[in-house]
Amino acid sequence: MMESGTPLCQLCGESVGSSPSGEVFVACHGCNYPLCQSCLDYTINGGRSSCPRCETPYDHHEVNGESGNQIWKNRVESWKEKKNKKTKSSAKKVPKESNIPLEQQMEEKESPEATEPLSRTVPIPSNKITPYRIVIVMRLIILGLFFHYRITNPVDSAYGLWLTSIICEIWFALSWVLDQFPKWSPVERETYIDTLSARYEKEGEPCELAAVDFFVSTVDPLKEPPLITANTVLSILAADYPVEKVSCYVSDDGSAMLTFESLAETSEFARKWVPFCKKYSIEPRAPEFYFSQKIDYLKDKVQPSFVKERRAMKRDYEEYKVRVNALVAKAQKTPDEGWTMQDGTPWPGNNPRDHPGMIQVFLGHSGAHDIEGNELPRLVYVSREKRPGYQHHKKAGAMNALIRVSAILTNAPYILNLDCDHYVNNSKAVREGMCFMMDPQVGRDVCYVQFPQRFDGIDRSDRYANRNTVFFDVNMKGLDGIQGPVYVGTGCMFNRQALYGYGPPSLPTLPKDSSCSFCCCCCRPKKPSKDKTEIYRNSKREDLNAAIFNLGEIDNYDEHERSLLISQLSFEKTFGLSSVFIESTLMEYGGVAESSSNPSTLIKEAIHVISCGYEEKTEWGKEIGWIYGSVTEDILTGFKMQCRGWRSIYCMPLRPAFKGSAPINLSDRLHQVLRWALGSVEIFLSRHCPLWYGFGGGRLKWLQRLAYINTIVYPFTSLPLIAYCSLPAICLLTGKFIIPTLTNLASLWFLGLFISIILTSVLELRWSGVGIEELWRNEQFWVIGGVSAHLFAVFQGFLKMAAGLDTNFTVTAKASDDAEFGELYMFKWTTLLIPPTTLLVVNLVGVVAGFSDALNSGYEAWGPLFGKVFFAMWVILHLYPFLKGLMGRQNRTPTIVVLWSVLLASVFSLLWVKVDPFLSKTNGTMATQSCNSIDC
């Protein structure tokens, strides 16, 4: 890429040449963007007056070919000197190997393991996927014919109801297209961790596996129990991965001394737990969940000492739990003077909204050993600085603080983030992810490897679809066949360089123009072609909103050489004022900067990068790190990466990699869904909306864009869903219907639509392995969440945009049950329960009214009643889990619910039969006799 120490022009691909004074030509003194004099003149004549990288205005000295950037000249001279040394050094080595044939050298270097793949893509068999695709196309055609019939056959007697139903059905059809077509090419993957180990963990040689920094985030230890967080940390420290390659960072965004003290206890217990797990290959390596397993723990264990040591370890764990629970009990009431540490000094985080940054290294590679004398992974406590008047951006801001701290202390090239309640269930999960990240062919363009979320403690029937099986086992597999799964917030392994805003190595590069040479300053270049101009325009950062820097341009240089190509000023505007951190960003393969080997200096710098004002006037949260602007920062962060051209990988080991806990109570589950939906609405109303963001360059594939559009528009389905679920009751109460009398051809379209819907679901279950009960639960909660949480999210999102109001929905606990799944039957009143309760009552009353009317009108009324009741029962069946949630445990239905249900049904039935509110008394009999068809 460079000839004689001179960079290449980014427009024409030739050397930038020299200025009249004989020095390297510099187009921009702000960032030293490589551009030759001729292309600079062409760019300025075309109307551009500023640098395409840093937007610094060009001055007349640049235009006239003068060069006066001494910093740039010094860097080039330094680069030349180092390059010459490297050339001389390599020249000395050549004679030693000159006697060995080249073929023999290649054979010696490439072992059999080096050529074997680390992973394999397994496409869905054609006998499963081909019929699935055919049915999708058939369903699309049938939908077109169905809507042609519906639109051309209005119901004049119920025009308003007909028009409402048509609008709702069209929206549902569009939603189906957005959800269905990204699943066109699903794939599965296999990993070969034995090959990974053979390639990078050779006996007698240093381990070459890449290092990983784990991020664990927590806020309030009273809501997120410290014992659960501790189990997550212990499972990380005991992972089946070289200890010198693992570091665990715990973010305490609530600055709670309880979290700090519980981590101190955890670090001590880890000295016993980690060697026990590795000695006996324990799974899972979270003690709470290991000891609670109802399985034969002696299976596959042949060591005679195992039983004895397991009993001792369980006893140690119980004592550890007592100590942690004592800390929790102590923290229930905060002293008036605040908390005090063991040395008598006040706890710096007594005010969670106003405190300094805090970092404590509990375990490390030097001096921290387990009871057997082996090293332990690093464990670091981090609480970023909080001050009034600063925007801290909640979890996204905390994660960005962890990026900077970890870059200074360990700087692993890969980051794996977990929620505090998601423990490592598969000790080899890191190796599974590395099979993709460290694969020379696959890993170059992978920004993250996403693992599916699996959960403990969910009732067997999964009443509220907490497992999200359809999403994780169907939708995510479909996305893996396009550009990769979306980021879902936890259980995700990142390429650190992708988080820094760099583009993948496969970013398009400009072709060299062989017809034009710039060896001589007097040579007049040809005018760049239109195609080249288009390529240049499409590769600009401001048009693509893409990578800040393209690592592909400087991929062949080491860290020092990279720093010669991009000015320090440009980095400071992007990453902030920390020279140590900036140096770490150029180290593509990780490692701590050599210039800061003093531990005290590193800690001081780490405190600096988590200060409140560090991110001001930088690109943090805008282009790099976790992106701000939505409570679902995960979706937004992954979307930005894939707009830059990165792809992601979906990794599904046979043993689930991570497991967490889910809110199985109805109210808590609805609030969780509300948060997700609100985040989607916020993205829809932001500049990052997939409907218009990131089109430049075409780096986001169209099916991938459809998937992202689906993730941000699905809450708006709540509006037509509420209307559609209200239609059955209205039809039953008014005697009208939304469908006219069906002809034979119309019956064919309706039948074809129902059959295609059923076939699509059956074939989807066939290739995905999802059960029919899981699919049905997903459909049910789609309606339950749609008419409650999604509806509130839409209104709250628009309220925040229009008036800046943030509406909070309070939850009041009424009762709890200590038995298994007791939380499932807990009743918590919340505003989210009102819309679905209303729909249930109205449809139940409508069914009662419909039967009452049929009994009053004679047998002729039973025919039209069938279609209306079927429509109403569709709504009631979908809301049935919600009804069970309202009633609580079976045989313990609240009396007030039963009384009100019977009272409402009885009163409305009597009112309907005796008063006939929808028919006038003068012509009621005539109207009843003439209303015998389905289009009445």
Binding residues for UDP-alpha-D-glucose: 217, 223-224, 253, 394
- The rounded Cα 660 to chain-centroid distance in angstroms is 16
State the DSSP H helix or E strand holding residue 674, giving kind and residue range, or none if neither.
helix 666-684
Tell which phi-psi region holds residue 189, choosing left (phi > 0), alpha (psi between -120 and 50) or beta: beta
If we measure between CA atoms, which residue out of 443, 422, 426, 429 comes closest to residue 489? 422
220-233 burial, b at 16+ Cβ within 10 Å, e below that, comes to ebeebbbbbbbbbb
Question: Could you tell me which of 825, 121, 900, 841 has the C-alpha nearest to residue 484?
Answer: 121
Nearest by Cα to 879 from 785, 790, 771, 791: 785
Kindly give the residue spans of alpha helices, DSSP state H, lying in 298-380.
306-330
Output the DSSP codes for 82-104. Answer: HHHHHHHHHHHHHHHHTTS-HHH
Residues 213, 253, 462, 473: which is the catalytic one? 253
CA 628, 467, 658 angle in degrees (round to 5)? 70
Question: How does DSSP classify residue 18?
Answer: B
CA gap 803, 793 in Å, rounded: 15
Q: What residues are designated binding site?
A: 217, 223-224, 253, 394-395, 419
What are 877's two structure tokens?
Answer: 């069946």
Feature table: binding site for Mn(2+) = 395, 419
Is residue 20 within 8 A of residue 1, CB to CB? The reply is no
Amino acid at 59: D
Residue 151 vs residues 164, 748, 925, 931: alpha-carbon distances, Å: 12, 16, 32, 23
Active site residue 634: yes
Burial code of 776-795, b = ≥16 C-beta within 10 A, e = fewer?
ebbebbbbbbbbbbbbbbbe
- What would you report as the CA-atom Rg of the chain, rounded to the nearest whole angstrom? 32
Type of residue numbered 625: G
The helices-and-strands tally (H runs, E runs) of the chain is 35, 15
Name the token pair of 269. 């217990």
Report CA torsion sign: 827, 894, 833, 869: positive
* Sequence letter at residue 507: L
Contacting residues for 524 by C-beta, under 8 A, at least 6 apart: 38
Of the listed 370, 421, 513, 634, which one is catalytic?
634
Identify any residues that bridge with 446 across adjacent strands, giving them in sequence order.
647
Residues with catalytic roles: 253, 634
